Structure 1
Amino acid sequence: MEQLVKELHERNVGKILVNEPLARHTTMKIGGPADIMVIPNSTEGVLNTLELVKQHGTKWTAIGRGSNLLVSDKGIEGVVIKLGEGLDHLEVEGTKVSVEGGYPLIKLATLLSRQGLAGLEFAGGIPGSVGGAVYMNAGAHKSDMSEIVTRALVMFENGDVEWLNNKELEFSYRTSVLQKKRPGIVLKAELQLQEGNRDEVFARIQQNKDYRRDTQPWNYPCAGSIFRNPLPNYAGNLVEKAGLKGYKIGGAQISPMHGNFIVNTGNATAQDVLDLIAFIQREIKEKFNVEMHTEVEIIGRQ
């Protein structure tokens, strides 16, 4: 690992951190150390990092702003590539938007709404990066990224870079081809929005932000929705009907405000959260005969 760190520095790939606690980089404030964390300063920095990782036969994982993520207490083996500053270039031409993967999604949605561009209002309260949003097909308020993404520039595990169009991204409910079938990093996305009335678009995005603030526990560290909605049911409703809101294991608690959120009350471990997830799954299966599948991505050493 020391040699890899040395070579990463020599290539000037960006910021390099060793044994970096991932609790500092996730919205749930949970997670053990990354052996090496690289925060690339450019697309070239990502390319050079992956090239060196491949040469050393080292495992790698990509993260964005750390939302929708539960990292193991034992951390993550190998190199964690965090997309953020350095991969946040934005270009807007009419109703077409080109944005790099590290750009904050809420910031993008707010900025575009102020320009009267419609189509991204649903993302007004979704934390995370553009890259992560494409990867997960993030959505809310009956819309998602699949509605506006025309294509994405993806870097795959072998270092190849390729544009994938909307169809090739194989979007479906909270998922895309990038999660398992063709793992990769979203370096850039192109979006097609529509012209709208600036005041109306901005009002909608503020309404969505207010709704999230009033119904979801963002005053505590959390990862967003824990479970996919087992349609036609809604995960939060099932948890509430089962009388589980407020239930705690260790420092992890089912939010008293929203049944599909698990919050870190201050000292939660990843194992606390995993135990609470398993408890919910058992209870919902027993009471309603419904299988609950996680939406939050669970990564790291087991």
Structure 2
Amino acid sequence: MTTETLYNALSSVLGAGNIRRNELLSHHTYTKLGGKADIAIFPRTIQDVKHAVDLVRSAATALTVLGNGSNVIVTDEGIRGVTMILTGLDEIRRDGKRIIADCGAAIIGVSNFAYAQSLTGLEFACGIPGSVGGAVYMNAGAYGGEVSDVLLSALVLTRDGEILERRNDELDLSYRHSNVERNGDIVLQATFALDPGDPVAIRAKMDELTFLRTSKQPLEYPSCGSVFKRPPGYFAGKLIQDAGLQGLRIGGAEVSTKHAGFIVNVNDATASEYIQVIEAVQAAVKEKFGVALEREVRIIGD
């Protein structure tokens, strides 16, 4: 199948308004970084996703999946093949004490929905800037809570093209990890098991966490959030701060002076500059403390 044939087939399945050529991916990432996608598609339903994936795989074309781009850096060269952006799948609904959310819904939105339904358990997610699919993919967490604490199951599209329900204990959830990437699955939907709660207490907890986040994190600049995983026995931000790296700047990318665990785009940074800062931080912390910082953020693209 030629690229033109694939493009036309995808247009037929998704609708002409949901496919674009040479889409600038900096418009779809929290860092405001990234080159162009050869073809970007924006499915609106689970069946759209399945049909599109079947077409791309039958064409033996590379497929990259993005949520809302909060925990990725797309290289300046962009992404070849087809990039599927899932933010159009954003329905959130209640089923008893459960909340079922599509993969493209913001996890912050799910937290707010839970509060509106007087359901407790997702307060920790009120400031996590990711999609539901991404939150499951990396077992996102903050302030002592993790997705694994409340996730009942995830609906996935498997490498073989099947839509299956994976229970929590089938996802190998651990610190910033699931088996979704290794299995080649695409998260389509997540079901969260929550408890009835006092809306006043839920709101108070969310307000407390929001205050902590806004007072400590450099939300005034584009960033990917926490760049590094927490090393065993240490805190990444403290190591970076103690290494004297706050304010380190290459081009428009800078180690935040507000929170050392963040690298911010302060002046039209390129992805290359951002990645250079990451590597400089890793090298300096390794040299000074003998600790290897592992990236939490994913780097994708050519």
Q: What TM-score results when the alignment is normalised by the length of structure 1?
A: 0.96
Cα deviation 1:19-59 (Å, max 9, x = unaligned): 10110000000001111111101111101111110111101
Query: Following the alignment from structure 2 to structure 1, what is the Cα–Cα distance between the partners of residues 264 and 178?
Result: 26
User: Could you tell me which residue of structure 1 aligns to residue 110 of structure 2?
Assistant: 108
Give the deviation of 1:267 after TM superposition: 1.6
Query: Following the alignment from structure 1 to structure 2, what is the Cα–Cα distance between the partners of residues 6 and 115?
Result: 43
User: Could you tell me which residue of structure 1 aligns to residue 14 of structure 2?
Assistant: 12
User: Could you tell me which residue of structure 1 aligns to residue 175 of structure 2?
Assistant: 173
**What letter corresponds to residue 54 of structure 2 in structure 1?**
E
Point out where structure 1 has 5 or more consecutive residues left out of the alignment: none
User: Could you tell me which residue of structure 1 aligns to residue 199 of structure 2?
Assistant: 198
**What letter corresponds to residue 171 of structure 1 in structure 2?**
L
Cα deviation 1:125-167 (Å, max 9, x = unaligned): 0111111100110000111000011110111233222111111
Give the deviation of 1:257 after TM superposition: 0.4
Query: Following the alignment from structure 2 to structure 1, what is the Cα–Cα distance between the partners of residues 132 and 176?
Result: 14
User: Could you tell me which residue of structure 2 aligns to residue 27 of structure 1?
Assistant: 30
Structural mapping, 1:1-302, within 5 Å? 1-12=3-14, 15-85=18-88, 87-179=89-181, 181-301=182-302
Give the deviation of 1:173 after TM superposition: 0.5
Kept in 2, the 8 Å contact 1:61–1:80? The answer is: yes
Query: Following the alignment from structure 1 to structure 2, what is the Cα–Cα distance between the partners of residues 21 and 161?
Result: 30
Query: Following the alignment from structure 1 to structure 2, what is the Cα–Cα distance between the partners of residues 121 and 270?
Result: 32
Query: Following the alignment from structure 1 to structure 2, what is the Cα–Cα distance between the partners of residues 202 and 185?
Result: 32
Question: Percent identity of the aligned residues?
Answer: 40
Point out where structure 2 has 5 or more consecutive residues left out of the alignment: none
Kept in 2, the 8 Å contact 1:153–1:188? The answer is: yes
- Other structure's SS at 1:34 match: strand
- Other structure's SS at 1:224 match: strand
**What letter corresponds to residue 37 of structure 1 in structure 2?**
A
Query: Following the alignment from structure 1 to structure 2, what is the Cα–Cα distance between the partners of residues 93 and 48?
Result: 27
Cα deviation 1:46-73 (Å, max 9, x = unaligned): 0111111011110101111110110111
Query: Following the alignment from structure 2 to structure 1, what is the Cα–Cα distance between the partners of residues 56 and 132?
Result: 24
Query: Following the alignment from structure 1 to structure 2, what is the Cα–Cα distance between the partners of residues 18 and 51?
Result: 19
- Other structure's SS at 1:111 match: helix
Kept in 2, the 8 Å contact 1:149–1:189? The answer is: yes
- Other structure's SS at 2:296 match: coil
- Other structure's SS at 2:80 match: strand
Deviates more, 1:19-28 or 1:159-168: 159-168
Query: Following the alignment from structure 2 to structure 1, what is the Cα–Cα distance between the partners of residues 81 and 209?
Result: 38
Size of the aligned set, in residue pairs, is 299
Query: Following the alignment from structure 1 to structure 2, what is the Cα–Cα distance between the partners of residues 172 and 178?
Result: 12
Give the deviation of 1:281 after TM superposition: 0.8
- Other structure's SS at 2:136 match: helix
CA gap 1:31/1:131 in 2 versus in 1, 3 angstroms: same
Kept in 2, the 8 Å contact 1:114–1:202? The answer is: no
Give the deviation of 1:283 after TM superposition: 0.7
Give the deviation of 1:77 after TM superposition: 1.3
- Other structure's SS at 1:77 match: strand
- Other structure's SS at 1:44 match: helix
**What letter corresponds to residue 21 of structure 1 in structure 2?**
L
Kept in 1, the 8 Å contact 2:99–2:114? The answer is: no
- Other structure's SS at 2:201 match: helix
Query: Following the alignment from structure 1 to structure 2, what is the Cα–Cα distance between the partners of residues 152 and 111?
Result: 18
Query: Following the alignment from structure 1 to structure 2, what is the Cα–Cα distance between the partners of residues 107 and 12?
Result: 25
Give the deviation of 1:4 after TM superposition: 1.1
Query: Following the alignment from structure 1 to structure 2, what is the Cα–Cα distance between the partners of residues 284 and 274?
Result: 16
**What letter corresponds to residue 163 of structure 1 in structure 2?**
E
